Structure 1
Amino acid sequence: MTSAFRTVCLVASAAALAACAAAPLIQTHSLTQATPEQMVAQVRAAAGGEDSELAVQPLRDPMAEDLRENAAKFERDKRYSEAAAALDKALEIAPDDPATLQERAEIALLSGAPAQAETLARRAFEKGAKVGPLCRRHWATIEQTRLVAGDAAGAQAAKTQLGACKVAALERF
């Protein structure tokens, strides 16, 4: 045997062993056929009307609010990376604003990043009022991300949490 042949055999053996040692790919099967745009439409529809319901609206920093408005314009133009950048800047100003976190989660969903969308929606829920239309958007986002991940139980749990977000407004006399 020549040394070149031995080298080729050694490399081939090492490659074969490496292929055997590689972890198998875990394939998830999405439970939804919805496009990212359809998913976000479902998230926003889950918010429903605010007429007869308690909805907490905090005061916002004017600079962060301008960035949120810019992000909305970018989103309408389907310029999702620019919308994400604007919302990221808004979050630098007001890192715990649940509405901005939720909007950023929806842009992540539109951008094909469901794991990031879920992380942001969960953070928004933790920072938010835990009731009202925004709360339902958080859980609807999580439901969509769980469907994309092929997690039927997680999607159902999120849907259940979504229902718990509705609280009637106080009666006024």
Structure 2
Amino acid sequence: MADDGRMQHTRTWTDVYGSACAAFEGRAGGHRWLVAAPPELAASVPAALAAVDGKGTVELLVHDGLTPLLSALQEGQPRGVLIVAPHSLAGGPEVEVQSRVVDDLGGVPYAEGGSFPAWSGAGHVNGEAGACPAASAAASLGFPVVVAGAGEVTTALTAWLDATPHGR
């Protein structure tokens, strides 16, 4: 843990699907959170998480497709998930994800696709409504979701921690 309260990167690993994962820890206490980003938007996320001053842990999942995200949510049971997207969204419609097989990440090949529900952003959300399959997938499992642009991760997560009892 960083002496100044900011999140500290503690470990990195690869999940069974070949997704890159990293853990960040803040001060003792707080909650477990998940931040999920597609590979093309993930480069700035570790620095953004390291800039967050808060309690608890954050796991970063850099994933292709929805199956690794759904698995991480079911296994980790986080307080909520922040989805990194091209821009912030306040909510979105039901989405239909075309069936496909993902077999190029060095992990277990998997099939995915299907219909996922409409969703509304948790807490104080900014942005317009727009389709976001990852947010719809998280909502299908009942997890609170915030969708933030890659450049807004620190601000969005800090605001969510501030709005959550024992979050910061």
Q: TM-score range by the shorter chain?
A: under 0.3
> Relative to total residues, which structure has the larger strand share, 1 or 2?
2
Normalising to structure 1: TM-score of the pair?
A: 0.25
> Relative to total residues, which structure has the larger helix share, 1 or 2?
1
Normalising to structure 2: TM-score of the pair?
A: 0.25
Largest Rg, 1 or 2? 1
